Amino acid sequence: MYARLSSIMFPIATLLFVGAIIWGYQEHQEKNSVLIKAENQYQRAFHELSHHMGRLHDELGQTLAVSSTSQGMQRKGLVNVWRLTSEAQNEINQLPLALLPFNKAEQFLSRISNFAYRTAVRDLSKQPLTPEEMKTMKSLYQTSGTVNQEIGKVQDAVIANHLRWMDVEVAIASENSPHDNTIIDGFKAVDKQMGAYPENDWGPSAMSTDRKLSSAALEGRDMTADEVMKKAIEFLGSQASSGAANINEAGKKTDLPVYSVTVKGQKGTNIQLDYTRKGGHLLWFMNPRDVKSRKLNFDTARNKASQFLIRHGYKNMSPINYDEYNHIAVFTYVQTLDNVKIYEDKVTVRVALDNGEVVGLQASDHVFEKKLLTPGKPKLSKQQAQLGLNTDFKVEDYSLTVIENDMRKPVLCHEFVGKINDHHYRIFMNAETGLEESIEQIPESAKAIQ
């Protein structure tokens, strides 16, 4: 009996064993194939990063070498600097550096990119590079040269010692690793060199850096936690239940300390609000309750949003577009001054379409936007500005607006909303020059309010 059983089971066991070996071999081959492909991608991104950083250093040097009166060559050089920094940033994002402190290098490249772009887009024949901007470029040139030397050392080590980027990924991911990998050490040195670049060397084009929100721009005194809690309860009104509420202060040692308030809502949800400590300005609030049906039409929802803004002191706000999802209407409002829409001074209101309750407000742009005293008067008429439009553009709506240009300065424009090539656009024509200041496509989901 056992002989008969073994004669049956042995071939089966043998087949299973051989099958397991074959399956394991195939899995091993597929894993190796994936690892080789990932390694090749990492190697390509790194060597392209080295190449583009070298080109960036050369381009900065060439731009500095041309005559101060050669605005055309300066513009060309700055455009190339912007392109090369963008490519370098993209290549850094392809490397396994997510867990490695590399924020100073990324910030440095971002600043170069913004500096080059915002300097190149202006009319250099009317606004040539200032002595401070030239000083900035010289410092950028020196720093990029030092960075290239560090990247060159890493590249030489990678080639000479056949180093693998997959080992870097494993070393970074390992909590117990001492992180003494040659590539890791090299990139830490690169980050240190870029971080050594002084903040105050960016000159007048420091507008090119990302805008930082700061309490220094706000009016009012510092509010206490109790005062802000009272403001939050009054703001919510009937939405707040008599249940628990708490408040925490965040960012005490930053440029923007805020109070975060959580209040239990009538539906059992946690309603959240953020207020600035200075002045007690509401930055945003959100009531994340479920909205399961749509009972209100567009006009009713818009009226609910407008009444809400007026009730809470947001005056002279005009709706410009709306979106709708999950039975919630989202309206964007902008400040209106002398019948001119101020696009950067805006709020976003979320209206539940089951009962018209406002369940969200985003007001940080309104809080921090510098208020204009007057939008000014257009030098060109609507008809004169319209002559600069594409003849195929079908105008559906018009208004005077103030937008920010690429140098983050307010510019009075004639805004034309219309359609061309089966898509809707906003085209902003400079009210002084008659040239296109900005063009914005309006997604089909985000309807323009006319």
- Rounded to the nearest angstrom, the gap between the alpha carbon of residue 221 and the centroid of all alpha carbons in its chain is 31
Structure confidence at residue 32 (pLDDT): 57
The CATH number given to 215-289 is 3.10.450
Nearest to 342 by CA among 411, 391, 406: 411
Residue-wise pLDDT tens digits, 360-406: 999 998 998 888 778 889 999 999 999 999 989 999 999 999 998 87
Average pLDDT of every residue of the chain? 79
Pairing relation of β-strands 358-362 and 282-286? antiparallel
The ranges assigned to domains in the chain are: 15-208, 215-289, 291-371, 382-448
User: What pLDDT is stored for residue 201 in this prediction?
Assistant: 41
E strands present in 181-239:
none
Mean pLDDT on 45-49: 80
| Mean pLDDT score, 250-279 | 85
pLDDT in tens, 238-259: 877 666 788 888 877 778 888 9
Q: Which CATH class is domain 382-448?
A: alpha beta
Give me the pLDDT at residue 19, please: 61
Using alpha carbons, select from 273, 264, 258, 268 the residue that is nearest to residue 312. 273
List the Cα angle 253/288/346 in 5-degree steps.
65
Tokens 């930082």 belong to 212
- At residue 357, the pLDDT reads 93
The amino acid at 137: M
CATH topology of domain 291-371: Nuclear Transport Factor 2; Chain: A, (3.10.450)
30, pLDDT greater than 60: no
- Cα 21 to chain center, whole Å? 50
- Reported as a single tens digit per residue, the pLDDT across 108-154 is 787 788 888 888 877 788 788 888 888 888 888 888 888 778 777 77
Q: Does 206 have pLDDT greater than 50?
A: no
In 3D space, the residue among 302, 307, 338 whose CA is nearest the CA of residue 320 turns out to be 302
Q: What is the pLDDT of residues 393-420, one digit of tens each?
A: 999 999 999 998 877 788 999 999 999 8
C-beta atoms surrounding 151 within 10 Å:
21
At 159-181, the pLDDT tens digits run: 777 767 666 555 555 544 444 45
Q: Please compute, for residue 287, the number of CA atoms within 13 A of its CA located in the half-sphere on the CB side.
A: 26
Query: If you average pLDDT over residues 310-317, what whole number do you get?
Result: 93
How far apart CA 307 and CA 286 sit, in angstroms, is 18
Q: What per-residue string of b and e applies to 254-264 under the rule 16 or more CB within 10 Å gives b?
A: eebebbbbebb
Q: Are 356 and 330 in contact (CB under 8 A)?
A: no
